[in-house]
Structures are given as C-alpha cells and as structure tokens.
Amino acid sequence: MLSTATRDALASVGTATVSMQLLKRGLRHTALAGVKPLAPDQGCVVGEAYTLRFLPLREDLSDPAVLGAPGYSPRVVIEECPPGAILAIEARGIATTGTLGDILATRLKVRGVAGVVADGAVRDGPGVMATGLPIWCLGSAAPASITELSGGDHQIPIACGNVTIFPGDALVCDADGVVVIPAKLVEEVAAGAVGQDRFEGWVQDRVAEGRPTIGLYPPNAETRAEYEAWKIGSSGS
C-alpha cells in the first residue's frame, strides 16, 4: 500500500528521475511505449495499478449485449477500482477503438480513482477531458472497444505499452509518459529519487552559474565533496 509520504515523494520528482533510479537497479524496460497525457497540464499522478486486460477480437465475445452482462470485466473495474488507484488497461496497442468514454470516466472520477493508463484510446475525447480525470493513452477514437477488442480479466498481470504491470505496482505518470515501479522496490526507489532530485537541482544551479558539466554531472570525487559540504551548510541554515 502506497503511503501518502511515498506518493508525494514520487509525484515531486516525476518519471525521468524515477526511470534513472530503476536503471541503477537493473530495470531498463519500465516506461510505457507511446502512452502520453490525453490533456495538457495533467500534472504528475502516482498510484497503485488496478489492472484490466482486453483480448483480441472474437465476435462471440464482443456482441453489444456483453456490455450489460454480469461479470463483464471492463465494466466491473469501473465499480471496483479503489479510490487513489490508477486503472491500468492492456488494450494491445490498438489506437482505433476506445477503451472507455465520458460516462465511465465520470464514474471513475466521482469514485476517487486517481487516473487511467491505457495502451489504447478513449472515445468521446473532449467529454473525457472535461471530467478532469487524468488519463494517459494513445489518443481518442470514435468506435467502442468491442469493435476491435474482447473483454478479458482484471487484477491480473498485464502487458501495457510493452511493459509488464502487476496489480499493486506503482505507476508514476507525468508529461513525459508513464513509468512502472515494481511494488517491492517502491520505497527504495522513492528515497533514491528524492536524493537524486536534490542533487540535480544543485547541479542545475551550478550550470546556470557557468560551470561546465564534465566532472559535475556525473560528479567526480571533488564535486561529490562539494555537494556534501553544501548539504551540511544548507541543513544548518
């Protein structure tokens, strides 16, 4: 379960810093391919993944009547995705059909869901954006999901944007896209990201003063010593 402090820490640093922390731990394949903010200025949203998987189209599984069938996962998740979580949708990279529209987005927003991440599109794009629900996806399209997809299961591991996401993994979403943090690494990555962000802020100030980047970023021994001295001085002031 993401603590408020961890959520706030990750939101303060964003995806670029988080991805570097994951790289330092040997995880290179964590950024979702092609997934971008649906609307500008959505900020940075962090939450635990609640997953939904769509399957390739099979006509007997995608008759319009299925939309009202009991247990149909694409509708079940709208009512079960917890407040503060991010609904993560595997849509097979298909950008020509919508995974949800304005009515379902409104319901998620009212229920307190933090956002939606999908390697597919949404429909009713302007209406979805008007709900204020932050969404990262491949854009918008008119046709409903059953035009090209069949509903699969939920709360299982999925492949979204060519990245594996397990239920409970942390998703960090901002203007650069979406990065996945394995649940077991969340606290460690958050702590490292905060430290990296502080150091990079100090480096940015030195570069703005006219310092060259060689030996500064990445830091050599002299730079590390200078930074440690600065930290001691700034903590005492």
Mean pLDDT of 157-173: 98
Instruction: Give the tokens for residue 37.
Output: 């903010």
Instruction: Give the separation between CA 149 and CA 147, rounded to whole angstroms.
Output: 6
Whether 152 and 41 map to the same domain: the answer is yes
Is pLDDT of 237 > 60?
no
Continuous segment of H or E residues that includes residue 45: strand 45-56
Q: What is the pLDDT of residue 233?
A: 87
Whether 206 and 132 map to the same domain: the answer is no
Q: Which residues contact 208 (CB under 8 A, 6 or more apart)?
A: none
Residue pLDDT, tens place only, 73-117: 999 999 999 999 999 999 999 999 999 999 999 999 999 999 999
Whether 124 and 22 map to the same domain: the answer is yes
Residue pLDDT, tens place only, 181-234: 999 999 999 999 999 999 999 999 999 999 999 999 999 999 999 999 999 988
CATH of the domain at 131: 3.50.30.40
Q: What range does the domain containing 67 cover?
A: 4-182
Residue 93 burial (CB count, 10 A): 16
C-beta of residue 136 within 8 angstroms of C-beta of residue 89: no
Whether 136 and 212 map to the same domain: the answer is no
Please state the length of the chain.
237
Whether 16 and 97 map to the same domain: the answer is yes
Whether 62 and 149 map to the same domain: the answer is yes
* Residue keyed to tokens 């097979």: 92
Give the relative orientation of helices 221-236 and 186-208 as an angle to the nearest 10 degrees: 100
The model's pTM: 0.95
* Residue keyed to tokens 């939904």: 52
Instruction: Give the separation between CA 198 and CA 104, rounded to whole angstroms.
Output: 39
Whether 166 and 62 map to the same domain: the answer is yes
C-beta of residue 54 within 8 angstroms of C-beta of residue 99: yes
Whether 106 and 212 map to the same domain: the answer is no
Longest Cα–Cα distance of the chain, Å, equals 69
pLDDT > 90: percent of the chain: 97
Whether 152 and 61 map to the same domain: the answer is yes
Q: What is the pLDDT of residue 62?
A: 94
Counted domains in the chain? 2
Helix (H, G, I), strand (E, B) or coil at 218: coil
Instruction: Give the tokens for residue 15.
Output: 């995806």
Q: How far is CA 214 from CA 29, 203, 227, in A?
A: 28, 11, 15
Whether 216 and 116 map to the same domain: the answer is no
Is pLDDT of 63 > 80?
yes
Whether 201 and 162 map to the same domain: the answer is no
Whether 57 and 169 map to the same domain: the answer is yes
Domain-ending residue, one of 166, 182, 198: 182
* Residue keyed to tokens 């092609």: 34
